[in-house]
Homo-oligomer: A and B are copies of this chain.
Amino acid sequence: MIGQNEYYEGRVRSLEFKNNQGNFTVGVMEPGEWTFEAPIKEWMRLVSGSWDVQQPAGQGEWKTYREGEEFEVPGGTDFTVRVTDTVAYQCPYTGEFLGHLDM
């Protein structure tokens, strides 16, 4: 089954699935600053566009990532992405998915 997730009143949406490579979401984020917590380890990989990322949210240095680049999110940590033009991303994650926090 393909899961459907919605965050921040639909300004971030993702589809959730599993295949023989593991667990994934693919999603789209509209312009804005969006904070998420990863209950378990995941990677955020840009499929289209670029973004600035702060890890952990509210504390770390901002870094810019471009299409094809990814950053790792240790389990139990959070991050903020600053999106200026709508992006698509892929998010491989480990183990059983416990769900992002819905902010």
A24, CB-defined interface residue at 8 Å: yes
Contact present for A86 and B19 (CB under 8 Å) = yes
A100, CB-defined interface residue at 8 Å: no
Q: Give the number of residues in A that approach B within 8 Å (Cβ atoms).
A: 27
Q: A4-B4, A13-B4, A30-B2 known; A88 and B20 CB under 8 Å? A: no
A39, CB-defined interface residue at 8 Å: no
A48, CB-defined interface residue at 8 Å: yes
* 11 more A-B residue pairs beyond the given contacts A2-B86, A26-B28, A47-B47, with a C-beta to C-beta distance below 8 A: A1-B30, A4-B4, A4-B13, A14-B15, A15-B26, A15-B27, A17-B28, A19-B85, A21-B48, A26-B27, A47-B90
